Every structure is written in C-alpha cells, then in structure tokens.
Amino acid sequence: MNAVAAILLKYLIGLVSISLVVGIHEAGHLVAANLQGIEVEVFSFGIGPKLWSCRYKGTEYRISWLPLGGYCRLKGSDDLSQALIHNQRTFTHTEEGSLFSVHPIRRMVTYLAGPLANLIFAILVYALLASLPVATLSDSAMVATVNDYPLLFGNQTSPAYEAGIRSGDTIVQIDGISIEDWQQVQALLERTQGEADITIQRNQKMLTFTVRAEKMSEGAYRFGLTVLQPTIVGNVRPASVEAHNGLAEGDRIIKVGSVSVTNQLELLSALQSKTDRVSLTVQRADGTHVVVFRPYLDEQGQPEFGFAIQSRTRQLPGKPFSLAAGWQKTGRIIKETLATLTAIFSRSQPDIRSNVTGMARSALLIGDITTLGFEDAPESAAYALLYLMGVVSISLAIANLVPLPAFDGGQVAIALGEWITKRQIRPKTYYVLQLIGIACVVVLFIALSWVDIRHFLLIRR
C-alpha cells in the first residue's frame, strides 16, 4: 500500500468511526422522540445527498454520501414557518407529533437522550474492554540509572545510583516482593513513601540496597531508574522511510553511523537530533546490513522514527463483565475531559493544539492508532478502535450539553425556561436563537479546522 492510500484508509476508518458515534447520539434522539410523541421526519447516517433510503413508521431512514456524522430531523419546521409568516407570538396551531406540540419536559427528555446514549455506549464499551483478555507489556526488569544517559535525561541525579545500583543490574525484589517485569517495578515504586529496599542481581550475586527517593514538587517520588532493552526492532511501519529502505522486524541494531549501541538508551542517544541522513548497521541471520534513510520530521522539526524496539508481552485474563467497571472508566475520562476544557478556558494550557482537534485530525488520529494496532494484531486494532470511539462518544456528549443555541444543551435550556416560566418562547425568538446557534457551529467548525490546518502545515515544514 502506497503512502497516499494508507492516509486515505486512516481517514476512512476515522470518519466512519466518528459517524458511528454520531449515529448512536442521533439514535438516542430518535428513540426518545418516538417515546415522547414527537415524530422524526428523517434519520440519516452521514450527510449530503442520499445514497439509500427507506420509510418505516413515518420516518425516512437514509444513508448519505458523506460519512461525516449524521442527523435526526424532528417534526416542527412547518409549525415554525407558519408562525413566522403570520408573525404569531406563540405556536398557536401545531401539527400532531410536532416538536412544539408537546410539553417542555418531553422536549428536554428528547434532547438529553442524545448525550445519554453516548454515555451509555461508552459505559458498555469500557465494560466490554475490561472483560476481555489483553496483552500487556512485560519487559525485563534490567535497569539503568538516569545519570548514565545525560543526553536523554539531562543533569538528573539518580538516588538509585547513589545507593549502589548500577546500569545493567536486574531487579529481583522490592521490599520482599518478587519481581516479574519492569512494569511491576514501576507500579511498586509509585506506591512507596519514598524509600524502598531493592534487591538486584549482578554477575550472579544478589545485593540489596535501601534507596531513598527524591521527592518531586507534585508529591511523587523519583528513584532515577529506567528500563534497559536490547536493540531488536519490534515493528516497522509499512509506509515509513525505514521500511522503504529495508529495515525489518527482528533486526538487531548494532551501530548508528560509527557509534556502537547495545541497548535502546544508547540507540536513542545516538539518534537524538539526527534530522539528516541516518545510517543503521543491523545484524540478521544472514549477516550485517546497512540501512540508510532520512527521518521524517515532526512539527517541531525533530526526527520521528517509524520503527519501535521490541517489547515482551504477557496475557492478562479479562475480568467478569461489569457495568460498574465501565462507569468508573467513563467517569475518569469525563473528569479528564472537563479538566482539559477548564485549563483551555482559563488559559493555563497555552497550546490548544495538543488537546483540541477538529474532525480531520481526530479522524486521522483514530485511523493512525487503529492501523498501528493492525500491525501488531487484529485484536489490538479492535481494542484501540473501541477505546477511542468511547473517548469520542464522551466528548460528543459533553460538547452537546454546552448551553448554546442549536446544541442539545441550548434546546434543553429553552425548554427548561418555558417550563419554569410557564410561557412558551416566541417563534421569532426561537428562530433567531437557531440562527445564532448555526453561526456558533460554523465559527466553531472554522476554528477547529484552522487548528487542524496549522497542525498539518507545521508537520509539512
């Protein structure tokens, strides 16, 4: 597959996934509207000219040409038109099944059902993912102290080094707990109160050191340890320059230019800031080969390599299916999303491009991560895709609850105002609010598209 086809495939995966999430949102409106006595004129998956349609119980169901979301058109446009033409102060003559013929509470339920459907979808997705067996990283517990690699870690000191641990040691116990892998080391050290008895193996000898960690400003502790891995290539992205020039999975990288490397930290140090020609000497079953390429540059002009070092994995069994687990994960993502939005609006997040994207970049990110999963295994791709669809679903629910006209939150606010005041909104006021809402959507779409365009232009540079 060439580079253009690969990018198009990523966009297609992302756009269809986002459209499915939007379809779930609109399906929530559809079901609620029918239950509340509001007729749905059109339910469309996608936008633009219709590709296929059928009518069932008064609703036209469509598949449209462009997989860019979808919509659910509720009955009521004729009532609004007639009220505007005759300059009515209220919706005095409404058709049966019209949006304006039902109690405000019924409208509130209908509009809230879209975000609710998205949250239910996310809960079900994360409950399902928690119940599936999953492959998790399980790297060897051979460690390095950060002070040995100043190009990567700057001038950081290492409390572990000061206590006696050296690069190349393998951790076998922490506070009497036997160690299986580096990931367990990380988890145990994060839970300590700043001090740990670490037993290591060095040259067939067992040694124990008491390490007193450095306390960080945010309350965490730093031991100054990192994992050591052999320089065996785990995967190479198919459309990358490395793959095009012959780098392959299983290659052991032994040199970068004339510099010998024996672990991934030496490799990363040698590759750091290499924006021009890169020469890798690799070892294979049939001997040594030299792979030469020019690395891809990210938006900051730094090299971004299309290969990864091999990591060990182990299979974790799934837990029993639990909606509580799905709700807990959904709740955490909601909190993270709201915290990000708060940081953006309070201007404590200076670069919104890192957290805010339009549909184009979102689709590309989803497609990119999903295709990366396919390079590992189909189940990894499915897991990643479902996880990201859950994130998009939660984001869509939160965005639609913003109390702006034309958003679900704005419609709920209008209905709530009518219910509290016992007075129906004037048709002209409702119409003006809808125009303002459409303008807000257009401005938001342009702003997010500009963020995406700037991101892509920076990448091209």
Q: What is the pLDDT of residues 201-219, one digit of tens each?
A: 999 999 999 999 998 877 7
The kind and range of the H/E element at 459 are helix 427-460
Does the pLDDT value for residue 236 go beyond 70?
yes
Residue 171 lies in a domain: yes
- For a pLDDT cut of 90, what percent of the chain falls above it? 55
239 pLDDT more than 80: no
Give every CB contact of residue 69 below 8 A, 6+ residues apart in sequence: 18, 19, 22, 46, 47
Per-residue pLDDT at 310 exceeds 70: yes
Q: Summarize the confidence of residues 332-339 as an average pLDDT.
A: 91
In terms of Cα–Cα distance, which of 211, 216, 222, 141 is closest to 183?
Answer: 141
Identify whether 359 is part of a domain. no
> What confidence tens digit (pLDDT) does each residue in 126-180 have?
999 999 887 788 899 999 999 999 999 999 999 999 999 999 999 999 999 999 9
The pLDDT confidence band at residue 461, using thresholds 50, 70 and 90, is very low
Mean pLDDT of the chain: 88
- The model's confidence at residue 457, banded by pLDDT at 50, 70 and 90, is low
Task: Decide: helix, strand or coil at residue 215.
Answer: strand
Give mean pLDDT, residues 1-22.
Answer: 82
The reply to whether 22 and 101 lie within a common domain is yes
Residue 59, pLDDT > 60, answer yes
Taking 90 as the threshold, does the pLDDT of residue 315 lie above it? Answer: no
pLDDT tens, position by position, 346-401: 665 555 555 567 777 788 788 888 887 776 667 778 888 999 999 999 999 999 99
Q: Tell me, yes or no, whether 383 lies in a domain.
A: no
pTM value is: 0.75
Last residue of a domain, one of 227, 258, 288: 227
Report CA-CA distances (Å) from 15 to 4, 43, 67, 128, 370: 16, 18, 6, 23, 12
Rounded-to-integer distance, Cα 376 and Cα 235, Å: 8
Q: How far apart are CA 22 and CA 42, in angstroms?
A: 15
Could you tell me whether strands 225-227 and 303-304 are parallel, antiparallel, or unpaired per DSSP bridges?
Answer: unpaired
- 256 and 292 part of one domain: yes
218 and 152 within one domain: yes
Output 97 or 218, whichever has higher pLDDT: 97
Q: Are residues 80 and 105 in the same domain?
A: yes
Q: Is the pLDDT of residue 34 over 90?
A: yes
Is the per-residue pLDDT at 20 higher than 90? yes
What are 110's two structure tokens?
A: 């209908």
Query: What is the DSSP annotation of 280-296?
Result: EEEEETTEEEEEEE--E
Is the confidence at residue 300, as pLDDT, over 90? Answer: no
pLDDT for residue 375: 67
Nearby residues of 15 by Cβ (< 8 Å), 6 or more positions away = 67, 68, 359, 363
Q: Tokens for 115?
A: 């975000």
In this prediction, residue 237 has a pLDDT band, given cuts at 50, 70 and 90, of confident
- Residue 259 sits in the same domain as residue 203: no
Q: Is residue 371 one of the residues assigned to a domain?
A: no
User: Do residues 42 and 69 lie in contact, with contact meaning Cβ atoms separated by under 8 Å?
Assistant: no
Tokens of 193: 């109160």
Final residue of a structural domain among 195, 227, 259: 227
Q: What is the CATH number of the domain that holds 273?
A: 2.30.42.10
* 141's tokens: 């517990």
Q: Do 217 and 249 fall into the same domain?
A: no
**What average pLDDT does the segment 255-281 reach?**
92
Does residue 422 lie in a domain region?
Answer: yes
Q: Which residues pair with 73 in a beta bridge?
A: 42
Q: Are residues 13 and 102 in the same domain?
A: yes
Structure tokens given for 217: 């400003």
* CA 457 – CA 461 distance, rounded (Å): 6
Domain-embedded: residue 376: no
The span from the CA of 57 to the CA of 61, in Å, is 10
Per-residue pLDDT for 21 more than 80? yes
For residue 118, the model assigns a pLDDT of: 97
Same domain, 300 and 211: no
- State which of 227, 258, 280 marks the end of a domain: 227
Do residues 94 and 8 share a domain?
A: yes
Residues 151 and 136: their CA atoms lie apart, in Å, by 29
Lowest mean pLDDT segment, chosen from 63-77, 95-109, 114-128, 338-352 = 338-352
Is 325 a domain residue? Answer: no
Domain with 64 in it: 3-116+407-439
- One domain, residues 154 and 184: yes
| Range of weakest confidence among 177-181, 254-258, 263-267, 302-306 | 302-306
pLDDT of residue 123: 97
- Hunting for tokens 């509130």 — which residue is that? 108
CA dihedral sign, ordered 109, 115, 121, 124: negative
> 108 and 207: one domain?
no
Give the pLDDT confidence score for residue 299 in this predicted structure. 66
Mean pLDDT of 17-40: 94
Tally of domains within the chain: 3
Does residue 427 sit within a domain? yes
Q: How far apart are CA 4 and CA 349, in angstroms?
A: 34
CB atoms near residue 383 (< 10 Å): 19
Both 241 and 218 in a single domain? no
CA distances from 33 to 22, 115, 344 (A): 17, 14, 35
| Closest to 18 in 3D by CA, of 331, 448, 453, 377 | 448
220 in Cβ contact with 196 (< 8 Å): no
Terminal CA-to-CA distance of the chain, rounded, Å? Answer: 25
Check whether 32 has a pLDDT greater than 80: yes
pLDDT at 368: 80
Q: What pLDDT sits at residue 256?
A: 95
CB-count burial class (<10 Å; 0-12, 13-18, 19+) for 254: middle
Q: Provide the pLDDT for residue 94.
A: 81
| pLDDT of 284 higher than 70 | yes
Question: Of the given ranges (244-248, 365-369, 413-417), which has the lowest mean pLDDT?
Answer: 365-369
pLDDT (0 to 100) of residue 214: 92
